[in-house]
């Protein structure tokens, strides 16, 4: 009889405050994790959109520099190495300037690096390499960096440009 009585009491006493608190905490945690996860996906989606736009801008930068090379190798060769420069694109010409460039909120920067080749052969080697190497005055490594301050996305593309027209 005592056992029966206890069971009946347990069944009839309803939900206690502790159960309510635990239930509420579980629901709150589940909601919080769900919102955080979805917000994370949305942030990633927004960054992806910026990454796509930045990649096209970087690609445009490399092509613009290739066009500058085709116009005059001397313009590329005269640029200071390892120093930030910027593209100056208008409706008629493409040039290189010291004035920072911002395109639809994206900051685009250009760097020109010297190119070294192995003395024995033409392989390109790093500037810090200790193998025998010589500076190639007819080649430059150009790097275009595009940065979106709003989302922190940065894309960088590089390409070797050569004095194709042997000016």
Partner 1 sequence: MTMYHETDYHRHQATRRGSSCRGFLLIEMLVYIAVLVVITLAVISTVLSLRGVFEKARANHLLMEAAENSLERMVFEIDAATSVDAAGSVFDVSPGTLALIGDAGTRSFYLDGGQLRVTENGADAGPLTPPAVSVGELVFTHYQNAHTEGVRVSLRLEVTEPVTLTKTFHVMTLLRNSYE
Residue (34 or 119) nearer to partner 1, CB: 34
For partner 1, which is the closer residue by CB, 39 or 81? 39
* Least separation in angstroms between CB 98 and partner 1: 21
3-state secondary structure of 163: coil
- Binding-residue pattern over the window 58 to 97 for partner 1, x denoting contact by CB under 8 A: -xx--xx-xx--xx-----------------x-xxxx---
Asked whether position 52 contacts partner 1 by CB under 8 A, the answer is: yes
Three-state SS letters, 97-150: ECCCEEECCEEEEEEEEEEEEECCCCCEECCCCCCCEEEEEEEEEEEEEEEECC
Q: Decide whether 108 or 133 has the Cβ nearer to partner 1.
A: 108
How far is residue 75 CA from its own chain's centroid? 28
C-alpha span between 85 and 97 (Å, rounded): 6
d(CA 54, CA 146): 6
Please, what is the end-to-end C-alpha distance for the chain in angstroms? 108
Stretch in the footprint of partner 1 (CB under 8 A) among 32-40, 110-118, 131-139, 154-162: 32-40
* Closest CB to partner 1 among residues 28, 135: 28
| Count, residues in the chain | 167
Interface with partner 1 (CB under 8 A): 1-2, 5, 8-9, 12-15, 17, 20, 24, 27-28, 31, 34-35, 38-39, 41-42, 45-46, 48-49, 52-53, 56-57, 59-60, 63-64, 66-67, 70-71, 89, 91-94, 103-104, 164-165
């Amino acid at each position: 009889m005592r056992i029966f009585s206890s069971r009946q009491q347990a069944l009839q006493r309803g939900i206690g405050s502790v159960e309510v608190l635990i239930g509420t905490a579980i629901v709150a945690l589940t909601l919080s994790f769900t919102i955080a996860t979805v917000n994370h996906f949305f942030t990633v989606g927004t960054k992806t959109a910026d990454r796509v736009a930045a990649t096209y801008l970087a690609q445009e930068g490399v092509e613009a520099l290739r066009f500058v090379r085709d116009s005059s190798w001397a313009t590329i060769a005269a640029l200071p190495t390892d120093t930030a420069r910027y593209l100056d694109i208008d409706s008629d010409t493409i040039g290189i300037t010291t004035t920072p460039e911002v395109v639809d909120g994206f900051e685009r920067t250009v760097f020109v690096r010297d190119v070294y080749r192995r003395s024995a052969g033409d392989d390109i080697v790093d500037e810090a390499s200790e193998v025998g190497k010589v500076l190639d005055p007819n080649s430059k490594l150009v790097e275009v960096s595009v940065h979106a301050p709003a989302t922190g996305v940065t894309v960088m593309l590089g390409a070797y440009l050569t004095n194709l027209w042997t000016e």
